[in-house]
Structures are given as structure tokens and as C-alpha cells.
Structure 1
Amino acid sequence: MVSAKGDRHMGVIRQSYGRGGTRRRTVRRRRNRVLEMGQLLAVALAAIALGGAVTRMVDEGRLTDWLLGAAPAAASVAPEVYSRHFAICSSAKRDTCIVDGDTFWLDGTKIRIADINTPEISSPQCAREAQLGRQATSRLAQLLNAGPFSLAPADRDEDRYGRKLRIVERDGRSVGAQLVAEGLAHEWQGARRGWC
């Protein structure tokens, strides 16, 4: 016989065993203990996982950056260094040559210098743009032929024309910035600016 008078809200069930003997069983307490054990196990597993992650970050020297909110450092892989002779592109077969002041072919791959925009030579808007475009093209050939350079990644791998977007660097300095300093390029800011 089960009586729940006044005790149901507390989770206590009383059972009678005849002759007035009762045994009190606390169902809710047992259920709570099982939930507490499950929660404790989940917390313990999370702590183990977090400890492993922190240990790995300490081993790799990234913990300080993470704690300070710094961006993760890129893996220190030495960039490939190129040294080729560049001529101005003239034929249908383009392997290693200069297209214009911000585009060139390198070993069969078309590269767009990502940090600049130079005047157009294929469809200039005015005579001044055509003249500056020829100067930028010639100057890029001089700069690339001046010695070894590397290609650093840009914010994305390719543009909508399938050209690889790269920043050309020599001794840690942008070749594109050199063209900007000489007035033959604009710093790329997401849109073309006019030259006329």
C-alpha cells in the first residue's frame, strides 16, 4: 500500500508493510545522485580534454598568444624563392613573362600582384593611362629581373579570372609598394581607381 499524503512534493514515497511498519524510500534522491554522477563524469571528461589542449598549446608555444587573444602565428615555413628572367609577354604561349604592371606569368602560372593596381595597357581610358601602364610594365620587369624574390599569400588564393593572388617580396619588402612609391601603381583597396 502506497501513501503519498503530503510527501509527494518532496519525492518521498511511504510503503506500508503491515502492522504499521513503514519503510521510507527516497526516489528523487537516488535519481539526483545518478544525475550528479553523470554531470561529474561529463565535467571530468571536459577537464581532461581541456588539459590535453592546454598541454599541446604549451608544447607548441601558443598558450600566451591564446591567452592574450593574439592571432595564431602561421607555421614558419620558408617561402620559395624565385629567380627567373622576365621579358614582356608577346606570344600566345606564356610561361614566364610580364603581362602588365601588376600581372605576370611564372613557370606557366598567372600571378596577379595582390597589393597593387597599375594602369591598364590593353584597354586604357586615356593616353596618360596608356603611358603609365607601359612604364609600370617595364618597371615590373626590371624589379623582377633584379634578383631573387618570394611570393607571399594574399587574403584569398585566386581572383575571379583564375589568377593566383600573391604579394611579391624581396628582402621582406613588397615590390608592389616600390611601384606605388614611384607613382606607377595604386595600393589595392578593393576597387580600381582611375588614372585619367
Structure 2
Amino acid sequence: MIILAVLLAALTGWNLNAWLMPVPQEGLSPAIELEAPDPWAQSREQRRLLEAQEDAPAPVAEFAGAPLVSAQPDTVSARFGICGGGARVTCVVDGDTIWLRGQKIRIADIDTPEISSPRCPAELQRGRQATQRLVELLNTGPFTLEPIDRAQDRYGRALFVVTRGGASVGGALVDEGLAVWYGNGRPDWC
């Protein structure tokens, strides 16, 4: 029992003497004052997770190995631009692919025209419009990332439906003719 107490005290930083043999506190100050733990004294990984939680309005799963899922509706937000050269952290690749805090995400419920390998100039133009419109939609306010039945696609992208107020953000692209619902076949954008 004492060995367990010593181990517990060592692991948690408790004052073992005060714990095993309490001393009356009248007029005496404790030999060691317990302070709140310093979050910056923690390991690099713990600091990274703390910073991620501070940046995100709601708890978020790990970035690598687990998809980003908001614990509360419409609490994921970030400032998006169009991806360019260099490191991709938070940006829009095309009308149905984004990077969010270093995680590549495929918007699972829509399909948009290609911009990396378009079949014609009309597809490229519409793909660029879809990309720009997705930037605008994501920057409008907080949203939710809803998982689907598969975690990743064949390219390793995390699969999510992006919603705001329970409605698909991709639905706006479908309504504007810049996307189709996923699973309805690949349209001829040309």
C-alpha cells in the first residue's frame, strides 16, 4: 500500500509527507505549495493538441490518423483561400476537395468539374467557378464535418459531408449548376 502511495505521489507530484501524515494547518504554511500545472511544461504532442483545442471552438479528433469531427454542430471554422504552391494547411483545392488544418478532405456528397485534368475549356472554367464558390461558402461561417460510412477514399482523403444548419454546403453548388450529387454518374461538363 505504501509503495503504491509513493508511486502515485511521484507520478502526480503530490507532497508525499503531507499525504501520508497530515499536519494540522493552523498557523503553518505547507512545505510545498501546489501550483496549477504549467501547460507549457508538457510534451510537444500535448502542447500541439492543446493548441488545436484552443484554435477550434469545439473538441476535435487528432489530425493524423483520425478524421476531424466537430463535437457540436456548426463549430468548425477557418479562413479559406484557394490552394497554391507550397504547403497546404487550410485551403480549397477544387470544388469538392479542401485542406483543413493539414488534413485533406473530400466533400463526399458532391462531384464537381475537374481543374487539374479537365477534358475541355468549359470544364476548367466551371471547375474554377466551383472552387471560388466553395471558398465563399466555407468562409460564410462555422460548419460541421459529418462522417460517412467510409473514412477515406482510394486517394487517402478523409471523407465528410460539409453541412451548415443541417443542410449540405455542397447543395448550394448543385443548385447553382457547379456540382452534381455524388453517385449520379460523372456528368459531361463539356
TM-score (norm: length of structure 2): 0.60
SS at match of 1:189: coil
Which of 114, 128, 136 is the matching residue for 1:134?
A: 128
Which of 81, 85, 88 is the matching residue for 2:79?
A: 85
Q: Which runs of 5+ in 2 are unaligned?
A: 1-70
- 2:161 & 2:122 partners in 1: Cα distance? 26
The answer as to 2:138 corresponding to 1:144 is: yes
**Contact 2:106/2:157, CA 8 A, preserved across alignment:** yes
What letter corresponds to residue 143 of structure 2 in structure 1?
A: F
Which of 100, 112, 124 is the matching residue for 1:106?
A: 100
**Contact 2:113/2:126, CA 8 A, preserved across alignment:** yes
Equivalences for 1:1-196 in 2 at 5 Å? 78-79=72-73, 81-189=75-183, 191-196=185-190
Cα 1:98/1:147, change in 2 over 3 Å = same
Identity of aligned residues (%): 59
Shift of 1:91: 1.9
Q: Which runs of 5+ in 1 are unaligned?
A: 1-76
What letter corresponds to residue 195 of structure 1 in structure 2?
A: W
What letter corresponds to residue 81 of structure 2 in structure 1?
A: A
Larger Rg: 1 or 2? 1
Bigger fraction of residues in helix: 1
**How many aligned positions are there?**
120
Question: Equivalent residue for 1:15?
Answer: none
**Contact 2:76/2:142, CA 8 A, preserved across alignment:** yes
TM-score (norm: length of structure 1): 0.59
**Contact 2:97/2:104, CA 8 A, preserved across alignment:** yes
Report which structure shows greater RCO (CA 8 Å, sep ≥6).
2
What letter corresponds to residue 86 of structure 1 in structure 2?
A: F
Q: Which runs of 4+ in 1 moved over 4 A?
A: none
Q: Deviations over 1:114-166 (max 9, x none)?
A: 00000000110011101100000000000000000010011211000000010
**Contact 2:74/2:163, CA 8 A, preserved across alignment:** no
